[in-house]
Amino acid sequence: MLTKNLKRQNFLILGGLLLAILMGLNACGDSEETIQAERKSLMEAVYASGYIQAEGEYELVAQSEGVLKEQLVQEGEIVKAGQTLFTIESNSAQAQLDNALRAYRLAEANAKESSPRLQEVQSAMKMAEDKYLADSINFRRYQNLWEKQATSEAAYDAARLSFEQSKEAFQKSRHALKLLRDQLQFEKEQALNNLKIARESSGFYQIKSKADGIFFQAYKEVGELVRPGQPIALLGKGNTFFANLSVDEQDVMRIQKGQKVILKIDAYPDMHFKAILHKIYAKVDPREQSLRVDALLEDSLPAAYTGLALEANIVISEKQNALVVPRTLILAGDSVEIMTEEGKQKVKIEKGIETLNEIEIISGISEETEIIKP
C-alpha cells in the first residue's frame, strides 16, 4: 500500500514538471519582440566631411625682404582692391630709392639748356661760329680782290684756308653740342626709368589687396622678418562660401554635379545648411583614399568665418511615403524573420533606398507584417 502511494506521488510530480516545461515553452514563444514597418520620407546620401572655405581665397605673398612695419587692417574687415594692408621696412630699398631720385634730379638738371655742361659747349660753339662768320666775310673780301688782281695769291690762299678751317671747327662744335644734348637727354630718360623701377620696388614694400573681399587672417605679426615669396595673409570673397569636402573613393561613382547637399557645421549645432555640388575634382588622394568635391552654399552663414569644420550628406535619392524598417532587422540574403499564425517564418524582401540606419522595403512585407527583432 505504501509503495503504491509513492508511485502515485512520483507520477504527480513528473506531470507537474512537464506542465511547467510546456508553459515555459509557450511563454518563450509569446515573448518574441516584433516591430512593424512604417511609412516615412527617406533620403539616400553619401557621407562627406570637410570645412567651410570662402570663394576666391588667396594668400598675399611678400615680394621683398624686410621687417613688417605696419598692419593696417584687422581680421574680419572688408577690404578693397588695391588697398594697402601691410608695410615692410627695408633700409636698403630706401637707400636705392634715394640714390635713384638724386641721380634723376642731377640728370634732369644737366639736360636743361642752362646747365654748365651745355653752356660750356654752347659758348665754344658760339666762338667757333663768330670766327667762322668773320673768316667768311674776310674770305669773300679776298675773293673780290683776287678777281680784280688786287691781292697776292698767298694772301688769298691764307684767307681761304682760314675760312675753311673755321667752317669745319664751327660744324664740329655744332655737332658736339647736338651729341651732348642727345647724351644728356638719354641720361635723363635712363635715370627716370631707374627711378620708376626703384619706386616700383619700393611698392613691393606695400602689400596690397588683389580684389574686394574680407581679410581673414594675418600670418605674420608686426616686427617679424618677412622674405620674398612668403605668405603673410589670407583673404577671400566675403559674400560667397563653399564646402571643401572629402568623399570616400568607394562613393565616387554615386555623385555628380548638381546634387543637393545638406551641411552640418560644428559651430552651429542646431542648424542645417543647403548647398549644391558644383565641382568634382579629377584626382583621388591615394593616401586618404578620398576625392575632393566642392559644394556651393545656398544658405547664408551667420558670420563670415572660413575654415569651420563640417559634415555633409550628398543626396543621391529621396522618396516620400516609403515603407521603412531599421537596418538591424535585415538578415543575410536580404530577408527578415516574421511572425505568422503558423509561427516564425523567414521571407525574402526587395530593398530600395538605404541609409546608415534604415532601409526601404519595396516588396516582401507590408505595414501589418510583424517582424521579429533579431
Residue 26: per-residue pLDDT: 46
pTM, to two decimals: 0.57
Q: Centre a 10 Å sphere on the Cβ of residue 153 and count the other Cβ atoms it contains.
A: 8
Sorted by sequence, the CB contacts under 8 Å of residue 350 that are 6+ apart come out as 334, 361, 362, 363, 364
Which residues, listed in sequence order, are joined to residue 169 by a DSSP beta bridge? none
pLDDT at residue 238 in the model: 82
Amino acid at 335: S
Q: pLDDT value at position 202? A: 60
Q: Average pLDDT by consecutive 10-residue portion of the chain (374 residues)?
A: 43 43 44 87 92 94 86 94 88 74 90 92 93 93 90 90 93 93 93 81 75 94 91 92 96 95 95 96 94 96 93 92 91 90 90 86 91 89
- Residue 198's pLDDT is 74
Q: State residue 112's pLDDT score.
A: 93
Distances (CA, A) of 243 to 54, 224, 254, 259: 9, 33, 18, 14
Give the pLDDT score at 127.
95
Give the pLDDT confidence score for residue 331 in this predicted structure: 92
CA distances (Å), origin 174, targets 63, 113, 138, 160: 49, 14, 22, 21
Burial 38-73 (b: 16+ CB within 10 A, else e): eeeebbbbbebbbebbbbebbebebbbbbebeebeb
Q: What is the DSSP letter of 137?
A: H
Instruction: List, in order of start, the domains of the chain with CATH numbers.
Output: 34-54+240-372 (2.40.30.170), 58-88+208-236 (2.40.50.100), 91-204 (1.10.287.470)
Can you give the pLDDT at residue 354?
A: 84
Q: What is the pLDDT of residue 211?
A: 92
Give, in order, the Cα–Cα distances in Å from 143 to each of 146, 166, 353.
5, 17, 122
Give 372: exposed, middle or buried? Use CB within 10 Å, 0-12, 13-18, 19+.
middle
pLDDT at 66: 84
* All cell numbers assigned to 45: 546620401
- How many other CB atoms are there within 10 angstroms of residue 347's CB atom? 15
